[in-house]
Each structure stands twice: as C-alpha cells, then as structure tokens.
Chain A
Amino acid sequence: MLVEGIGDAECVKRVQRGDADSFEVLVRRHQKATFNLVYRLLGNYEEAAEVAQEVFLSAFKSIHQFRGDANFSTWLYRIAFNHASTRRKSLQLAQQRHVPLDGTELIGDGDAFADPEKTAQKREIQHRVQSALNSLPKDDAAIIILRDLQDAPYEEVAQMLEIPVGTVKSRLHRARRALKELLAPQYCLKRRAS
C-alpha cells in the first residue's frame, strides 16, 4: 500500500530498509521532472523515456548510497544528468539531434483547441529553442534547463552539477548569452515582424 503523503526522506528510508514498493511513490513524484530534464538534454522523446527508466533503476540500485545530505530530487537529477550526458555522447546526438515537430509532446500546455496557426508557430519556436539547447555544451544546456525551465535555485543547481554557486552564476550567464546568439535570427525576425 502506497502512502503518498510521506516525504521523500521517509520513502528513501523505507526503500533502504527493503520496501521496494515505497520507491513507486518517489517514481510517481519525480518522473515528470526527471523525464523533462532528460528529454530537454537529449531532444528525443523515445530516448528520453528509455533513459528515464534507466535513471530510476539506477537510483533504486544505489539508493543505499544516498545519505540524505541533499534533497532526493537533487540526487536523482544528478543521476539523470549523468545518464543523459552519457547517452547524448554515445548516440552522437550532436549530429543527429532532432525534434519531432509533429508530436504533441512539445506543446505541453493543453491548448488543443488553440488556433492552428498559433499552434504551428509555437511549435516552430519550440523546435528552434530545443535545437539551440541541443547545440549548447551539455553543462550549459543543463544549467539553463534547470534554472529557466525547472526554476531550480542556484544552490540546487550547484549541488546537482557539483560546482560552486558562483560558478553556476557565471556559467548561467555565459550559457544564456550563447543561447541568445543562437536564437538571434529568430529573435530579430520576430522584432522586425512586430
């Protein structure tokens, strides 16, 4: 029987004591954020689903190493980042990056009844942004995704990437400027059009 009301720390203790069912609470609680982090890092939906599965399995196997020094989510995102980085490298996604433009997963806002023209335009923008993210180094992409997409605090980003907070700030600024340069044509066109 799952107890959804308990915190991550209690769930982790139960899993560490051998209660594998308690791990399902953690999976249901963090699957979306974990999947999105992996997906934004990889840019491929199927690959992201597979890697997310590996991430949770790896977390379960190594949960005895989790000592509670950080949040479970931070620890889990670190595993996800490492798995995604490995997969991104192995698949040479730098050459094969693509975003499925006809999928509904890129919308994600539940605006199925919106104007088709606006929907198509939004998909186009998302495609360009995702392509720009995929063009960034994995550390820069991760720091932008964590900070601008998941609103993670500097401290959590620092713990997840295992770098100082000051480095997070400087690296975030550098990554944003790089992304702005990649999106500059799109941005200029929009400004001219407007």
Chain B
Amino acid sequence: MNCEETDVQLSEFLDRTLDGDNLRNVREHLAGCPRCSEELGGLAECRRLVSNLGVVEPPVGLVTRIMAEVREAAHRPSILERLFPPVRLKRPLQAAALVLIGILSVYLYQKEDVSNMPPTPVTPEPVLSVQQGPTDFETNKPPAAPIDNPLQNEAKAVSTEPATAKARSAPAATESKAGKEENRLESRQEKFKSAPIPAQGVTTAQEGPSFPGSLSGRGLGSSVEALRQPGDRPAPFAADRLSLLSEPIPDYELVVRRLPSQRADQAAGPAGSQDSLQKRAGRAASKFGEGPRRAEGFSRGNNSPLEILWFSVPYDKYEQFKQELAAQAVVESEIPVGVKEKDASFIADRPLSIKVTVLPSAER
C-alpha cells in the first residue's frame, strides 16, 4: 500500500471504522512511513481541537420562548388554512361562485349575440297601414283608383294603428301577405329583443289588398294620391299607442312641405271630413313628439300641425316614388336612415320602409 492509498483511509483509521485487510495494511504502511504518520498526527490534533470546543449552554429561557411561539402557532390557523377555508365554508362559496359564473355566462352570451348581429336596416315596424284620408295635398286630381286596381298598390302607405276593427275590415289577402311580413319582422324583433313594446296589430292599405311589387301606368301615384284622399279614413297612426321606443326605424326618412295651393284646396275641402289632416297630424305629432326630436320640430313650426306617413315601396321603385312625391310637395330633405351601401343587396329583397313627414305649407 502506498502513501496515496493510505492517505485516503487515514480519517477512517482515525475514527476506528477500518477493519480487516484495510486496517492491517494501513497499520503496516504507517509503521514504515513517517510522512503519513505525521499526517495522521495532524488530523488527530484537529479532531481533538474540535472535540475540545465543548458543549455550549443554550441561553436561559430558550425553551420558554420556543414553547410560547409553538403554543401560539398551535392556535393560529396556518396560511393554507386561511387560504383554503374549511369544507363547511368552502362548499357554499363554491356553489355561489358556480351560480354567479352561470349567470354571468348567460348574460355575456346574450350580450355578444346581440352585438354580433349585422347592422341590418331595422324592421319596418309592424303597424303600417295606408294613409287614405284627406290630406292637405288635395288637388283637382281624381280620387284614388279602386282598391282592386293593381296600379294603386305599388306603394303602401301605412299607419301605426293597432289591429282593431280596421284590421278586421281589411281584405283577407292583404292581411295574409302583410301578416307574413309582420311575422317575419316580429320574429326578428323578438330575436333582437330590441323593441320593448311588442308589435301591434297590423293593417294594410285599404285602397289595395296587397302591394304588387311592380309599377306601371300611374306607378306610385296611388300611394302618393293617398295624401290627397278625402273622406273618412282612419287616423294615420294610432298615436295613443305609439311611443318613440316603438317607432320603427325607416330605411328612408323624407321631409316634405305642402304646396301653398294644396293648402288652399285643403281649406276648401269637403265639409264631410271628420277630422282634418292638420288636426290629426297635429294630435299625432303632439302625442308622438314626446321625444326631443319631434317636440322641437313641432315648436319650430309655430304650432303647425304635421303629418307622418309611412310607405312601403319596392327597392327599385324608390326613385319613381320620390319623383311622384316631389310633384305633390316640396321635398326638403331625404335621409337614408337605415340604408347603407353594403346593405343594398339585402334591402333589395324586401320593400323599403319610408317615413314621410309632411310639413305645413310655407305661407303659413
């Protein structure tokens, strides 16, 4: 055994943990090697010095301090216990959190569903009927064509009167087609849940059973002529059942002003007219004008009555309708409220909803 092999085992030799051949070999080497013997002596001296360090007495009261902290910790909930409450509290908390998450999920889902809907032109509101009564646009033109004349049915002026007896008096065919349209609109309206007031009864123009969707001859004249229709007819819209919230958003909103000559004719109109257009429109506007927009327009008109008419016109006949309307009154403004370029293809599939606000003549 050489010095290196012996050196590795000197600590074990010092600790008396060597046995057998290792112990005998180390002893034999140390007996003949002063260098390794001196190394062993140095290690033994170090060991003796360390062991002579002795045992140091702990400070007095250490046990008392330790146990004070131990007893305090024993009665103090741990961090985990504070973070995770016991089951009797955890279960109700988890249940409440689950319910809250569910409610929040439904709410967010509905909100996102509505926000993701395309900005389609808003539905013509259900309650639309043809304006037939005498208007301030009454001229010497002949009265409107008979109801069964298809040329008169190019456009439908509609009012917001609820489906009452008037709706029952309307032709069945008209109701059937208008009903389909209304059902479609109502279903969309329910889906969007945007209208707080449910759709009301629907009635269509009395002058025609349905809107044929084509123009020929007089074109939209019948609808426009409705502005001049004298005689007894239902109110343009049931103002007492309307509110701004239930007002439909038209595709186009036109503001026209009566011609002075029309006012003169209107003044000399048939005495049998039960309710003049001005009175009806004024009453409707005052009732309808709960919102700031209509109230403002009403005041600017020096208490002049105005009339709001609704029309349903095929998309491709709108320009013709506008021309005929311009022949009867001065078109002061045309606002494409619910129409956008990108929606043109969508709108072409259904009639346009047009709102016409009839202002009194300028001479007033």
Interface residues of A (CB under 8 A from B): 18, 20, 23-24, 27-28, 31-32, 35-36, 39-40, 45, 49, 52-53, 56-57, 60-61, 105-109, 122, 125-126, 129-130, 133, 144-145, 147-149, 154, 169-170, 172-173, 176-177, 179-180, 183-184, 187
Contact = CB atoms under 8 A, between A and B. Distances in A.
B74 A20 contact: yes
23 contacts: A20-B74, A27-B63, A27-B66, A31-B62, A32-B57, A35-B62, A36-B55, A36-B56, A49-B59, A52-B62, A60-B74, A105-B56, A106-B56, A107-B54, A108-B55, A126-B52, A133-B50, A148-B47, A173-B8, A176-B43, A176-B46, A180-B42, A180-B46
A119 to B, nearest CB: 12
Interface of B: 8, 10-12, 15, 17, 42-43, 45-47, 49-59, 62-63, 65-67, 69-71, 73-74, 78
A51 B10 CA distance: 35
A27 B71 CA distance: 13
A57 B53 contact: no
A125 B50 contact: no
Nearest to A19: B74
A114 B71 CA distance: 42
A133 B15 CA distance: 19
B56 A53 contact: no
Contacts of B69: 53, 57
B70 A31 contact: no
Contact of B58 (A49, A133, A187): A49
A70 B67 CA distance: 24
Contacts of B52: 122, 125-126, 129
B22 to A, nearest CB: 12
A28 B45 contact: no
Given A24-B67, A27-B67, A187 B42 contact: yes
A35 B56 contact: yes
- Chain A interface secondary structure, helix, strand, loop or mixed? helix
Contact of A130 (B42, B53, B59, B74): B53
A152 to B, nearest CB: 11
Contact of A149 (B50, B67, B78): B50
A111 to B, nearest CB: 10
Nearest to A179: B46
Given A31-B66, A180-B46, A187-B45, 12 more contacts: A23-B67, A27-B63, A49-B62, A106-B56, A126-B54, A133-B50, A149-B53, A154-B17, A169-B11, A176-B11, A177-B43, A184-B42
Nearest to B66: A56
A57 B47 CA distance: 32
Contacts of B70: 20, 23-24, 27, 56-57, 60
A98 B70 CA distance: 31
A28 B54 CA distance: 19
Contacts of B45: 180, 183, 187
A144 to B, nearest CB: 6
A18 B75 CA distance: 10
Q: Count chain A CB atoms within 10 A of each CB in B15, B51, B71 and give the residue with the most.
A: B15
A107 B56 CA distance: 7
B309 to A, nearest CB: 84
Given A173-B11, A180-B42, A180-B43, A20 B58 contact: no
B67 A32 contact: no
A-B pairs with lowest CB-CB distance, top 9:
A108-B54, A173-B11, A35-B58, A20-B74, A148-B50, A56-B66, A180-B42, A105-B56, A180-B46
